[in-house]
Chains A and B, each alone.
Chain A
């Protein structure tokens, strides 16, 4: 799973040096090629209007051929810093646009983006569907024609075109738009690929879009399955479209995005594509002085998602496992993974539990970990991860030590053990 970062809000596309360096220093090795940096939705709204020349940076919007030149500083800087582009986004219109006559321009812009992606070995390009002014019953046919018209160029440049779930504006209220139904979106991707006889089209799941429409992200991910090539991770309050760092949009100590169903869904479909973190609004509001620290946190957050989504793959990695902890987390392990990845035993610091059985596992003293096979991993099932890891290392345990976490389990018990915290 590759982790990538949106540069928007961090990098000035005309003077990208510091921003790209900060992103790289935070540990990101991949940056999104966001063409809307130099051809924004606001720029597109001005296309053809008298005062366009009074606005700065609108030239690419009117002249797609100038996209490359406009993006040149960021492309050059990333190349010199050895930061890759795996994922790009073509310019798109505002959700509440009234500019249906721009569909031709959008096609030209998408084509130019494909060429640039080809030049910089960028594998995936999101091209949003055409929407404004298209009658409901013609949406599929118009977009089918649109996407298929881009396919030869995409093939020539070895670019996979990604469709993305959309919101539509009902007088400012964002509701479910094109490709927001998982089954329909899957049909679109399949039809397009069937038409050309190869996998040239895939899907980008925009978590922010799903959240704005209160969608069940488990169902959405399950319905799209392996068609999902990229996931845009961004947080928002569910009613205003913002790109905030995951876990920052909260209400009364709870997140307002349904991370549980997202992780459940991506874990179930074995997602192993691109994880793209978009916190452009958060970044833009942070002082440039604080941005390096924010970027480091963003990288940690992205890595955390990668780890959560791939948790089952981590379990698969080891020929055998033992657990540390005989409380709720151990109980949840046994409920969800005990049958598939049965632990040899569990251990606990609580002497009173030694020799007892918990969820079918024998509870042993930590010292017993000194006798387990060398390739057996110890999974800590207790929130005091670092403290316990230190204890085990101090005991001289050389085995791999991993953290287990039950925040995003496939299922949960209806209750929690009342003495779970003391076990």
Chain B
């Protein structure tokens, strides 16, 4: 049976991280996606409002996250994946900001990942196609960044995972970086060959894929073994809502408008053995706090249902 995970945002807090991990265990999860991005928010970065969190030394960061690590261990939760803060490059930002993200935040995120003994760290590719003219030119910049942390990844035994993203055109969410599976395959293989290690893999985000009409089964099947981690969540095909699978419908028949059958068929095709990880933190703020455990249990049940269909 595949393991089930969920992101730690809105569950695990810094005050008493052990309680959050314990809640995960009690509600049926064995894994967690550590929300490192919560310590340097994208909304703040776009406003050039950078906090001092990553000014800390690696030793200080390890000290800060020690209770989290112990809490997870005590609860029997494996932190199998985490999310690096994003964006890594702010096109309208000052050089100092972008240098900081690249040279301070990113390597320290890798160190935190290692500290948690976590195998996968998800990054966001650069969103620069509008300026640079093409996705290829945009990818060149992302690849430069990957090249800057790939040696660290190799040394630490971590796989960096690129994720399919969206962009916005007048509020209409359209294809962003890493939405072409064939290109992703070529790039991942080339980079891994270059480093003689599995430094790069893919994180398939169901919600982002749904927003831009990607064929789930085809995309996952094309990625094959390069698919390492998942961000499972649902939306209405218009907004990035991060809701529970099977939530949305578009017809009077009230059948799911997200292709979950295609998703599961894809995972089955490639014999996916990774974690079925849910990126559904917003669900926990939608429902009353008193229902948090019920909601987590329900998400976990969906995970087990998925697991039964995939294996």
Q: A residues near B, CB below 8 A? A: 136, 167, 170-176, 180-181, 183, 211-216, 218-219, 222, 237-239, 250-252, 254-258, 260-261, 264, 410-415
Give the distance to chain B from A218, nearest Cβ to Cβ, in Å: 6
**Do A172 and B91 contact each other (CB < 8 Å), given the known contacts A216-B174, A250-B170?**
no
Query: Taking the nearest CB of chain B, how far is it from the CB of A312, in angstroms?
Result: 14
The contact string, 1 if C-beta is below 8 Å from chain A, for chain B 256-285, is 111100100000000000000000000000
| A176 contacts B250, C-beta separation under 8 Å | no
List the B side residues contacting A254 at CB < 8 Å: 169-171
- B172: contacting residue among A172, A257, A410, CB under 8 A: A257
- Chain B nearest CB: distance from A252 CB in Å? 7
Chain B residues with CB under 8 Å of A211's CB are 172, 174
Interface window among B68-76, B110-118, B129-137: B129-137
Is B253 positioned at the interface, with any CB of A under 8 Å from its CB? yes
Q: Is the pair B174, A215 in contact by a Cβ cutoff of 8 Å? A: yes
Further 9 A-B residue pairs, CB within 8 A, beyond A214-B212, A252-B171: A170-B258, A175-B210, A175-B215, A218-B129, A219-B134, A238-B238, A251-B172, A264-B134, A414-B91
A214 and B130 contact, CB distance less than 8 A: no
Is A214's CB under 8 angstroms from B166's CB?
A: yes
The CA-CA distance from A170 to B237 in the complex, in Å, is 11
Tell whether B43 is near chain A: CB-to-CB under 8 Å.
no
Tell me if B170 and A171 are in contact (CB < 8 A). Answer: no
| Pick from B133, B135, B173, B251: contact of A172, CB under 8 Å | B251
Interface segment out of the listed B19-27, B175-183, B197-205, B288-296: B175-183
User: Residues of A contacting B148 with CB < 8 Å?
Assistant: none
User: A411 near B131 (CB under 8 angstroms)?
Assistant: yes
List 10 tightest A-B contacts by C-beta distance, closest first: A172-B250, A254-B170, A213-B213, A214-B212, A175-B213, A238-B172, A214-B174, A173-B257, A411-B133, A172-B251
Q: Chain A residues near B133 (CB, 8 Å)?
A: 218, 264, 410-411
A172 to chain B, nearest CB (A): 3
Which residues of the partner chain A approach B91 to less than 8 Å between Cβ atoms? 414
The reply on B302 being an interface residue by CB < 8 A is no
Q: Which of A174, A181, A255 contacts B169 (CB 8 A)?
A: A255
In angstroms, how far is the closest chain B Cβ from the Cβ of A112?
A: 32
A261 to B131, alpha carbons, bound, how many Å?
Answer: 11
Within 8 Å by CB of B175, from A215, A252, A412, lies A215
**Which residues of chain B come closer than 8 Å to A252, judged between CB atoms?**
170-171
Known pairs A214-B213, A413-B131, A414-B91; A256 contacts B258 (CB<8 A): no
Chain B 182-235 residues near chain A, CB threshold 8 A: 182, 210-215, 217
B132 touches A411 (CB 8 A): yes
CB distance from B46 to the nearest CB of A (A): 14
Can you name the residue of chain B whose Cβ is closest to the Cβ of A213? B213
Report Cα–Cα, A251/B137, bound state, in Å.
Answer: 28
Smallest beta-carbon distance B97→chain A, Å:
13
Q: In the docked arrangement, what's the CA distance between A27 and B93, Å?
A: 47
- Chain B residue numbers with a CB within 8 Å of A412 are 130-131
Is the CB–CB distance between A256 and B171 below 8 Å? yes
Question: Is B92 in contact with A260, judged by CB distance below 8 angstroms?
Answer: no
CA distance A214 to B173 in the complex (A): 7
- Assess A175 versus B169: contact at CB under 8 Å? Given A213-B213, A215-B212: no
Q: List 23 A-B contacts (CB under 8 A).
A: A170-B259, A171-B250, A172-B251, A173-B250, A176-B214, A181-B182, A213-B213, A214-B166, A214-B172, A214-B211, A215-B212, A216-B135, A216-B175, A238-B173, A250-B170, A251-B170, A252-B170, A256-B170, A256-B172, A264-B133, A410-B133, A411-B132, A412-B131
| Closest chain A residue, CB of each to CB of B208 | A214
Q: Is the C-beta of B51 less than 8 angstroms from some C-beta in chain A?
A: no
For B257, give its contact among A170, A212, A255, A413 (CB under 8 Å): A170
A415: B residues at CB distance < 8 A: 92
**Known contacts A176-B214, A215-B212, A414-B91; A238/B174 CB under 8 A:** yes
Q: Which of B179, B211, B257 is the most central at the interface, judged by chain A CB atoms within 10 Å of its CB?
A: B257
- Which of A171, A216, A261, A414 is in CB contact (< 8 Å) with B256? A171
